[in-house]
Amino acid sequence: MRGFVVLLAGASLFACAVEQSNEDSLEGAVLEDAAVTFQGADYGDDEAAKVAHGERVSKVLLCTACHTPTLTGTHMGNFDPTLDGIWASNVTRAVPDLTDEQLETLLREGVHPTRDEIYMMPSKVYQKVSDADMAALIAYLRTLEPTGEPTPLTKLNPGLAEARAAGQYPTSAEEVPLYAGNHPPDPGEEYALGRYVATVNCADCHGPQLDGEDGFAPDLSQMVGTYSDAELVQMLTTGEAPGGRDIGLMSFIGANVTSHLTDEERADLVAYLRKLSEDKMAAAQ
């Protein structure tokens, strides 16, 4: 867990280096309007199915990775002193004070109704979550019983305040425009589900177009070349890499986050990444 949080802090620090969207990436489908969702979003009027879907969405969208599996929150400084003062809130206590609309604005835009600045929440990718997945997530959050102590407000420690003053520690809201209209490549309709998973999950750390974040997470189109499809499925289900190699944070994500994808979502994701890799190799020839 320690490495997880340390690296997440790194992710935020590197976010500033992300290039603004360019013409090419805008040609891709506008994900915000697409009907692509995680499987199970066809819950219709079935409230129980909607809540169950929302619970799974809270796992695959990393909420439980930061806010703990019970969503009762934690002090990030416990894991890494450089994050002293940052609290991943007790979501079970926070939700009753927020309307559905305020929750959606917080998640998609990084804007909180009563706090000036929100850090670390990946609104940059949540802005691209489908409406059906978002509605289910919020319905699920509403079912949580307030549990545990309310968490203190976040206050940046001197080190982070200094980084922020130097323009190196953006708020969640400041990261949103870096990803708006800046999507992973779109090789066509048949890859839509795999691309959606990559867009709302992998892109958080591997960059808006999945070609890596300098010094943090590698270019996925290159990385998949070192895996067979079966090995990639295995890694994204258990966190285990071929030969038992140590893959740091990705091992935690595989075991605790992508393990909650459906088999079809995982298979489509692997097919999508394979296609990206093939297209890149073909373009280089």
Q: How many Cα atoms occupy the beta-carbon half-sphere of 156 within 13 Å? A: 17
- Greatest CA span in the chain, whole angstroms? 58
Residue of the chain from 66, 111, 135, 178 that contacts ligand HEC (CB under 6 A): 66
CB of 266 to ligand HEC, least distance (A): 8
Does 41 sit near ligand HEC (CB under 6 A)?
A: no
**Are 39 and 265 spatial neighbours (Cβ–Cβ below 8 Å)?**
yes
CB of 67 to ligand HEC, least distance (A): 6
Q: Give me 267's structure tokens.
A: 């298979």
Strands (E), the chain: 74-75, 87-88
**Are 257 and 65 spatial neighbours (Cβ–Cβ below 8 Å)?**
yes
Does 107 sit near ligand HEC (CB under 6 A)?
A: yes
Does 62 sit near ligand HEC (CB under 6 A)?
A: yes
The residue (of 3 and 177) whose beta carbon lies closer to ligand HEC is 3
CB of 6 to ligand HEC, least distance (A): 10
φ/ψ bin of 9: left (φ > 0), alpha (ψ from -120 to 50), beta (otherwise): alpha
Dist CA 139 CA 131 (whole Å): 12
Residue of the chain from 15, 41, 121, 163 that contacts ligand HEC (CB under 6 A): 121
Residue of the chain from 31, 94, 173, 178 that contacts ligand HEC (CB under 6 A): 94
Alpha carbon of 215 to those of 10, 187, 218, 222: distances in Å? Answer: 9, 27, 8, 15
Q: Give me 114's structure tokens.
A: 């009563």
Does 241 sit near ligand HEC (CB under 6 A)?
A: yes
Residue of the chain from 25, 218, 234, 278 that contacts ligand HEC (CB under 6 A): 218
Dist CA 235 CA 231 (whole Å): 6
Residue ranges in 1-40 that form contacts with ligand HEC under rule CB under 6 A: 7-8
Does 191 sit near ligand HEC (CB under 6 A)?
A: no
Exposed e or buried b for every residue in 98-121, given b needs 16+ CB within 10 A?
beeeebbbbbbebbbeeeeebbbb
Binding-site string for ligand HEC from residue 249 to residue 278, where x marks contact by CB under 6 A and - marks none: xx--x----x----------x---------
Using CB under 6 A, list all residues that contact ligand HEC: 7-8, 58, 61-63, 65-67, 86-89, 91, 94-95, 106-107, 112, 115, 118-122, 126, 141, 154, 197-198, 201-202, 204-206, 216-218, 220, 223, 241, 247-250, 253, 258, 269
